[in-house]
Chain A
Amino acid sequence: MAVDADAALAREFPPLVVPVERGRLAFFARATGQTDPDYFDVDSAVAAGHPDLPVPPSFYFSLELERPDPFGWLTGLGVDLRRVLHGEQSFTYHALAYAGDTLTLTTRISDVTVKKGGALELLTKLTEITRDGTPIADATSVIVVRNPEVRT
């Protein structure tokens, strides 16, 4: 079924306040085969000049998933999660963040584009990540919803 673009663009996301946990970053490092100890050994990170483990560059996407029911905005629009693909992801960086930081995420849906006569719908989600009001990173996700019943 087609996504209601007006409902998607009007969707409000309460600001999300997320503490960055050291153990979680170490787990992320292990799960991604990280070999650089600066990302899982706090002594190594401190020796390299960091105050704690740095948040690695793609982990900001994971912070967004700390929201309760992180895919609820999609299911709320009637989207079957089995039909969803992650189409694109981008980040712009302003400053490093570290384990121990508390980050605030502000999210909105910025665009809904229908392609191939409705067989594909592209939802663009923008998230600004700040620490005490200071910009840390901006994240943009393009989510592709496949509607295979739509013939093109």
Chain B
Amino acid sequence: MTALTEGAELPPLAAEPISRTTLALFAGASGDHNPIHLDLDVARSAGLEDVFAQGMLSMAYLGRLLTELVPQERIRSWQVRFSAITPVHARPTCTARVASVVDGQATLDLTVALDDGTVTLTGDAVVDLD
């Protein structure tokens, strides 16, 4: 397990490129059936060129990174802001850095970015050290 010391860059998590199948499976598994993520006709009717990924898919990838870092019961809180949409075929990479360690808890700065550098999600999580 990676030591959560202040300033440490933690092992990133690179997801597979997001396919339309990924979006369909995540819609079913997550319960988010909003057709803007699934149906090209609906996306175009909203003036978009294509469907785009559910924000919660990226948050789920980030959740995988967190539970690889610490047992889940140590995660105290977690917040994210979605800053850009994730297009089909993009590949999100989740990264985390230990921003501070205070009173037995670490605050992690979290980012999800695409290969072209677009930051799609920023946030932070507070985890117990033990």
Contact = CB atoms under 8 A, between A and B. Distances in A.
Contact of B30 (A28, A84, A91, A96): A28
B71 to A, nearest CB: 9
Contact of A91 (B28, B31, B77): B77
Given A33-B61, A82-B36, A93-B76, A62 B30 contact: yes
A27 B31 CA distance: 11
Contacts of A95: 73
Contacts of A85: 55, 82, 85
Contacts, number: 111
Interface string A63-83: 001100011000000000111
Interface string A32-73: 111110010000000000000010111101100110001100
Interface of A is mostly: mixed
A115 interface: no
A69 to B, nearest CB: 11
Contact of B55 (A30, A31, A89, A140): A89
B78 A90 contact: yes
A65 to B, nearest CB: 3
B56 A61 contact: yes
B56 A33 contact: no
Contacts of A86: 54-56, 82
Interface of B: 15-16, 22, 25-26, 28-34, 36, 42, 45-46, 54-57, 59-64, 66-68, 72-73, 75-82, 85
Given A61-B59, A71-B34, A81-B34, 5 more contacts: A28-B60, A31-B30, A65-B31, A82-B36, A82-B46
